[in-house]
């Protein structure tokens, strides 16, 4: 079974056999011959190197590994069906009886083509990204339009873009394939092999303590797993999370959550503070005023972040005092370098610079910020079902969060 472009018809045959506990009854339902279904299941088992069914005289019955595979396959099918339904609703195309079976007609290659075009905006680049020829990808994309009777692709000044209907369909297709990726990891875990992969999107605070602590803990318990850390603007990380490219986010939570298909879990409350280099002219001064703070250049987070909102609120009552010299940055390495070689001020989490404080590099100013506390925690897809390795990682993050709260 090709993990990058799975045969969706074979997966449907697998689910039908699991439901009916019979190859002959499944054959009638999915319109494949019994030998074809037998071969399809054998191919899946060979790819996974595990038996999915026990063959007995009274039928075929799922093994424990088969039950794991069925759960994820059903979730993948749910996402594919939902994508079709929402795309049809978005397009305004009136449903016909044939649309009820559209999910039985689409192929894995067509879904990969849709995803690839959404990511590249070009048929040639899309074909190269999934390893097929450009004519094959173009044919798959146009066949998908023909089957669905929807316009999915349109030319614009930058190349090929997706219609609104195609965009929502591509998102659910990504989630479907993410579920299948999860099951490959679960099967390996079932066989006692730690080959799981965790992709975590991280915002600045988590990089200094919580995330390193959790990674060290989970890799000590499961030395074979792979952890991929992605940082970037919150909006980009959230997009990756909602499209199944990222498993979870850790950092400052939004209130309320930005969209209904994600959930947030607070780990601890963090306090913001004004940070300067050791030896800064304001370091030893008590009862600092806004006027004194405005005399120095600042480093701030990018517009739209919760911490940037705190900075703007600081000078909201005296806009004329808002510093004219501002550098926007989120990299702690860059911020530390700027602070060390200047009299700049920044607003950061006290946790975020705990090591720099211990080393005598940075100091906290004695200025009390209003409503300086903010929740730090996890953001996850509402319907996310982690593998055992991923669940261990989430628990390690929770433990690290409790340690941060106690420090």
Cα 58 from Cα 67, distance rounded (Å)? 19
**CA distances in angstroms from 220 to 44, 187, 392, listed in the order given:** 32, 21, 11
String of b and e for 248-269 (b: at least 16 CB within 10 Å)? bbbbbbbeeeeeeebebbebbe
- The pLDDT value given to residue 301: 87
Element holding 382 (H helix, E strand): none
Q: Is the pTM of this model over 0.75?
A: yes
Question: 47 near 166, Cβ under 8 Å?
Answer: no
**Phi, psi for residue 377 in degrees, rounded to 5:** -175, -160
- The pLDDT value given to residue 98: 54
Q: What are the tens digits of pLDDT across the range 6-54? A: 789 999 999 999 999 999 999 999 889 999 999 999 999 998 999 999 9
* Second CATH level (architecture) for the domain 270-374: 3-Layer(aba) Sandwich (3.40)
CATH, domain range 8-173: 1.10.10.10
Same fold? 193-267+376-406, 270-374: yes
Map residue 259 onto helix, strand or coil.
Answer: coil
Rounded to the nearest 10 degrees, the angle between the axes of helix 64-91 and helix 34-48 is 110
CB-based contacts of 291: which residues, under 8 Å, 6+ apart?
321
Question: 350 near 372, Cβ under 8 Å?
Answer: no
- Could you tell me the residue ranges of all domains in the chain? 8-173, 193-267+376-406, 270-374
Half-sphere exposure of 5 (CA within 13 A, CB side): 18
CB-based contacts of 69: which residues, under 8 Å, 6+ apart?
14, 44, 48, 52, 183, 187
What the block records as the tokens of 63 is 């093994």
- The pLDDT value given to residue 97: 43
Domain 193-267+376-406 is in which class? Answer: alpha beta
Give pLDDT < 50 ranges for the chain: 1, 97
Planar angle of CA 48, 38, 67, nearest 5 degrees: 45
Planar angle of CA 298, 301, 305, nearest 5 degrees: 140
* Strand pairing report for 298-300 and 345-349: parallel
Cα 379 from Cα 247, distance rounded (Å)? 9
Cα 130 from Cα 86, distance rounded (Å)? 25
- The pLDDT value given to residue 1: 46
Instruction: Tell me whether residue 371 is exposed, middle or buried, using C-beta atoms within 10 angstroms of its C-beta: 0 to 12, 13 to 18, 19 or more.
Output: exposed
Residue of 7, 52, 13, 30 lying closest to 190 (CA atoms) = 52
């Amino acid at each position: 079974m090709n993990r990058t472009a799975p045969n969706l018809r074979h997966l449907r045959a697998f689910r039908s056999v699991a439901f009916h506990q019979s190859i002959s009854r499944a054959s009638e339902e999915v319109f494949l011959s019994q030998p074809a279904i037998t071969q399809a299941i054998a191919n899946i088992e060979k790819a996974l190197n595990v038996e999915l069914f026990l063959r007995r005289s009274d039928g075929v019955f799922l093994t424990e590994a088969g039950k794991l595979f069925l759960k994820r396959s059903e979730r993948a099918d749910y996402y594919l069906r939902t994508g079709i339904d929402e795309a049809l609703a978005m397009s305004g195309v009136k449903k016909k009886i044939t649309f009820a079976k559209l999910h039985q007609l689409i192929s894995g290659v067509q879904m990969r083509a849709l995803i690839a075009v959404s990511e590249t905006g070009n048929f040639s680049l899309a074909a190269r990204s999934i390893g097929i020829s450009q004519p094959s990808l173009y044919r798959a994309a146009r066949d998908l339009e023909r089957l669905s009777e929807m316009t999915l692709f349109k030319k614009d000044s930058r190349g090929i873009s997706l219609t609104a209907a195609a965009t929502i369909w591509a998102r659910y297709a990504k989630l479907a394939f993410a579920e299948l990726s999860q099951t490959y990891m679960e099967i390996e875990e079932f066989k006692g092999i730690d080959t799981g992969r965790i992709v975590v999107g991280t915002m600045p605070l988590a990089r200094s303590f919580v995330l390193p602590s959790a990674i060290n803990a989970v890799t000590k318990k499961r030395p074979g797993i792979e952890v991929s850390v992605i940082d970037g603007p919150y909006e980009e990380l959230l997009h990756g999370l909602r499209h199944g490219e990222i498993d979870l986010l850790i950092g400052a939570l939004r209130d309320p959550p930005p969209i209904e298909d994600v959930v947030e879990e607070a780990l601890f409350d963090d306090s913001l503070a004004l940070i300067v280099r050791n030896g800064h002219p304001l370091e030893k001064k008590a009862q600092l005023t806004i006027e004194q703070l405005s005399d120095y250049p600042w480093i701030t987070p990018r517009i739209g972040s919760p911490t940037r909102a705190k900075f703007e609120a600081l000078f909201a009552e005296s806009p004329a005092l808002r510093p004219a010299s501002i550098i926007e940055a989120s990299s702690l390495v860059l911020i530390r370098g700027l602070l060390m070689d200047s009299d700049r001020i920044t607003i950061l989490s006290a946790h975020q610079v705990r090591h720099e404080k211990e080393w005598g590099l940075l100091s906290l100013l004695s200025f009390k910020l209003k409503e300086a506390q903010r929740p730090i925690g996890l953001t996850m897809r509402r319907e996310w079902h982690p593998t055992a390795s991923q669940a261990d990682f989430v628990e390690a993050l929770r433990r690290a969060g409790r340690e941060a709260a106690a420090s």
